Structure 1
Amino acid sequence: MFKDPYEDYKILKCIEEGAFGKVHKARNLKTGHLVAIKIQDCTNDNFMDLYEECKLLESFNHQNIPKVMDKYYWEQKFYICMELCAGGDLTDIYMGTGSLKESQVAFVAKEVLETLLYLHQKGYVHRDIKPNNILLTDAGEVRLVDFGSMSSIQTEKPTFIDGTPAYLAPEYVLEDLNGDYDERCDVWSLGMTLLELAEGRLPLLLTSSYSYCKYWQQKNRVPQLRKRDKWSPAFHSFLEDALTLDPAMRPSVEKLLQHEFLSNDSLTRVNLTLSESNRVTV
């Protein structure tokens, strides 16, 4: 991994930029295949963190987790070469084409739940499920990304709030200093994500962990679909289960996978109608 990545890849346009660094589309000079390369500034302090995160991703073997193809450390930058998800993320999709149909929401729900079941069985909580972290391939296949907030279910639970406030489970925000949360916080985040995809807007317009904590301390109501007649009873039931306020009563990922909302005749892939120039991957 200690070699110049530009000997193997031609870096093309930047397709995403954030606090984590930048993601570029790139072409493998030997095979011609397109990939996504995540480039992060690297120091003596964070090298091992980046390396261990990459090794963990390499150890995952699930069809809905992008494959790591190469990794490099060069000139104080860490490069991770991964599968390119040219369809973009689900925020891009619904902002470009409008809210998703119920059958498409069901498809996303099933694919993400199957990925979470794999992670939970491995002993990990993702902790940052949201539309931005759900990508689509050109074929409309779902890929779950961004494992920077992931933690072990049993150990190493961070004693600080991490993740995106609008999607965080109430118990995670209210009890995080005691570490009193488990993998069911991912179920809540998925429920909030599905609400957003169905309605084309965030269910809760809260921008900070503090405001989110205040919201639940005041015992405000759990978000619901606004137009009840537009959606099937099965979808309402699924969301009520996923957004159960008491985590002890909230269904597990495994149980939700058996819900009637995810029956085979109700699932369709998300239409990829965005132009190539407007698609984004992370």
Structure 2
Amino acid sequence: MGCISSKKRRIRSMSTFVLSRIDELRILPSTFVKINNQAFSNVYQSGRTLGKGAFGEVRFCTHKKTSARRAVKIFKKSDFFEENYMQRLLGEIEILKFLDHPNIIRAYEFFEDSEEFYIVMEHCRGGELFEALVKWKRFKESDAAMIMKQLFSCLSYMHSKNIAHRDLKLENILFDEKSEGLGIKLIDFGAAGYFSKNQELTGSFGTPYYIAPEVLVGGYTEKCDLWSAGVIMYILLTGKPPFDGTTEEEILNSIKQMKYNSNSTEAFQKLSEEAKDLINRLLTPEKDRINARDALEHDWIKNNFSEPPTADDIMRTSWGNLSGFKTGNKIKEAIITFIITQLASSQDIKSARETFKKLDENGDGKLSRGELEKGFKMLNGYTPELLDRIMKEVNTDKNGCIGYTDFLKAATDMKKLATATNLQNTFDAFDKDGSGKISADELKWALQGENIEDLDIWNELIYQVDQNGDGEIDLKEFCDIVSRHF
């Protein structure tokens, strides 16, 4: 780590306008999810094929510099015969950048060359939910409830952001790890779209067996996702689809009639009354269909779902990290965000992730002050005043709740993650031209992309940490930003 230079710092005053603009600067999970202008093969070593679809394939890949294990979704441009396919791809990229939830796949970066597009994402080692169902035939209600609560949480979070998935199916749900509970990740946002309360969604998206009846006939709302969730729940519990047919046309006609197999399936008859009731509330006309938030509150979820116990020492550790967290300056905040979102492994954030899920009692993918208080108020050192400070320090969006990545940044032990290697890799990502120093232009590029902003803002940020007065940040100064604030 660097140390503060003994060289006398110059004294200057900065306008209130610039200082207020710095205060308004938001370092978000999406800040570092960008198009990488290098060739994909220069950055990643491509590995085995994990899956194939109509417009590309998913392969395992390894980041050459950091050895991070990831997955890459590859699209061949030659397969885009219609313009709307390109629009869907660009839409998927924008939506993936925007989403921040423990059960939604995280995107890292994107590449493009003359022949292909690449979306680099988390690698989920547990395989598809579909594969697990083939192996186990069907799930017991407690296991199905654990999966469905996570799926409803994804939908509650997405719908609160005015995003509908529109292609929920077993194949688009992965298990995070091979043998670590039933943690899921929702993937494939190629059909996802934004909606508004005043305008219905349009377009025929989805997969036979899962598609909602209203999608087949015209305009629809985000509740199409709840229908698909109902189909998934039915299949998990019975091992069979709810709508019969020997051809796709027969299946779709059965869906339009909204009469699922409730009597002819023995497995369905053996289900609890609560499970049957929730399925009824999902596989019903759109106007009567339950929403995701209410599904999370349904008796079947509450009575069958049991959050895996989070060890007391994990809760205490997370509370201790939260209690000691201080935002500091914007560059320090950016460094921490980069390490958490781009370099940290699943194991690195495991304790904080488990704590977040434990605290998120209503499953909406964010933490309210009440949820934090309920989870931490019995721990040593808790005071309402300290909790107020944590809410102020950690809540990047200033929306009254703490998001997933913001919580990880504050609840993870960054002293362990701010290694020399991670700091060097973060510095290199900011140092766009590889000169060994970060200029105001490079800082603007790293934190704001190509947007034009008054360079006074970025010069002031550099001035706050520039120890030798050369107007740039070298590696020692960069490392010292972190060491001085822990």
TM interval, shorter chain, is: 0.7 to 0.9
Any conservation in 2 of the 1:165–1:207 contact (CA below 8 Å)? Answer: no
- Does 2:71 match 1:27? no
* Distance of aligned partners of 1:206 and 1:37 in 2 relative to their CA distance in 1, 3 Å threshold: farther
Match of 2:279 in 1: 239
Any conservation in 2 of the 1:89–1:133 contact (CA below 8 Å)? Answer: yes
Return the alpha-carbon distance in structure 2 between the equivalents of residues 207 and 75 of structure 1.
42
Alignment gaps of 5+ in structure 2: 1-35, 309-486
* Distance of aligned partners of 1:186 and 1:12 in 2 relative to their CA distance in 1, 3 Å threshold: same
Return the alpha-carbon distance in structure 1 between the equivalents of residues 255 and 120 of structure 2.
40
Any conservation in 1 of the 2:200–2:221 contact (CA below 8 Å)? Answer: no
**Pairwise CA distance, 1:149:** 1.4
* Aligned AA (2:50): I
* Distance of aligned partners of 1:207 and 1:17 in 2 relative to their CA distance in 1, 3 Å threshold: farther
Deviations 1:27-47 (A, max 9, x none): 111121211100001269555
Any conservation in 2 of the 1:151–1:158 contact (CA below 8 Å)? Answer: no
* Distance of aligned partners of 1:220 and 1:253 in 2 relative to their CA distance in 1, 3 Å threshold: closer
Any conservation in 2 of the 1:58–1:68 contact (CA below 8 Å)? Answer: yes
**Pairwise CA distance, 1:264:** 6.3
3-state SS in 1 of match to 2:261? coil
Match of 2:163 in 1: 124
Any conservation in 2 of the 1:166–1:207 contact (CA below 8 Å)? Answer: no
* Aligned AA (1:65): I
Return the alpha-carbon distance in structure 1 between the equivalents of residues 255 and 283 of structure 2.
13
- Does 2:189 match 1:147? yes
**Pairwise CA distance, 1:214:** 2.6
Any conservation in 2 of the 1:167–1:189 contact (CA below 8 Å)? Answer: yes
Any conservation in 2 of the 1:124–1:150 contact (CA below 8 Å)? Answer: yes
Match of 1:248 in 2: 287
Return the alpha-carbon distance in structure 2 between the equivalents of residues 267 and 91 of structure 1.
23
Q: How does 1:183-262 map to 2 (within 5 A)?
A: 183-206=222-245, 210-216=249-255, 219=257, 221-224=259-262, 226-228=266-268, 230-244=270-284, 246-262=285-301
* Distance of aligned partners of 1:47 and 1:131 in 2 relative to their CA distance in 1, 3 Å threshold: closer
3-state SS in 1 of match to 2:232? helix
- CA RMSD across the alignment: 2.3
Any conservation in 1 of the 2:227–2:283 contact (CA below 8 Å)? Answer: yes
Return the alpha-carbon distance in structure 1 between the equivalents of residues 290 and 88 of structure 2.
33
Structure with the higher strand share, 1 or 2? 1
User: What is the identity percentage for the equivalent residue pairs of Structure 1 and Structure 2?
Assistant: 28
Any conservation in 1 of the 2:44–2:61 contact (CA below 8 Å)? Answer: yes
Match of 2:45 in 1: 10
**Pairwise CA distance, 1:266:** 3.2
- The match for 1:162 among 198, 201, 205 is 205
Scaled by the length of structure 2, what TM-score is found? 0.50
Any conservation in 1 of the 2:242–2:260 contact (CA below 8 Å)? Answer: no
Q: How does 1:264-275 map to 2 (within 5 A)?
A: 266-267=305-306
Return the alpha-carbon distance in structure 1 between the equivalents of residues 95 and 202 of structure 2.
18
Return the alpha-carbon distance in structure 2 between the equivalents of residues 149 and 67 of structure 1.
17
Return the alpha-carbon distance in structure 2 between the equivalents of residues 213 and 266 of structure 1.
32
Match of 1:275 in 2: none
Match of 2:74 in 1: 39
Any conservation in 2 of the 1:104–1:267 contact (CA below 8 Å)? Answer: no
Deviations 1:110-160 (A, max 9, x none): 10001001111111221111111111111332111111112222358334x
**Pairwise CA distance, 1:208:** 6.5
3-state SS in 2 of match to 1:165? coil
Structure with the higher helix share, 1 or 2? 2
* Aligned AA (2:205): D
Deviations 1:61-111 (A, max 9, x none): 111111111210023200111001110111111112331111111011110
Any conservation in 1 of the 2:92–2:192 contact (CA below 8 Å)? Answer: no
Alignment gaps of 5+ in structure 1: 270-282
- Does 2:215 match 1:172? yes
Any conservation in 2 of the 1:238–1:261 contact (CA below 8 Å)? Answer: yes
Any conservation in 2 of the 1:165–1:206 contact (CA below 8 Å)? Answer: no
Return the alpha-carbon distance in structure 1 between the equivalents of residues 69 and 109 of structure 2.
13
Return the alpha-carbon distance in structure 1 between the equivalents of residues 258 and 90 of structure 2.
42
Any conservation in 2 of the 1:8–1:28 contact (CA below 8 Å)? Answer: yes
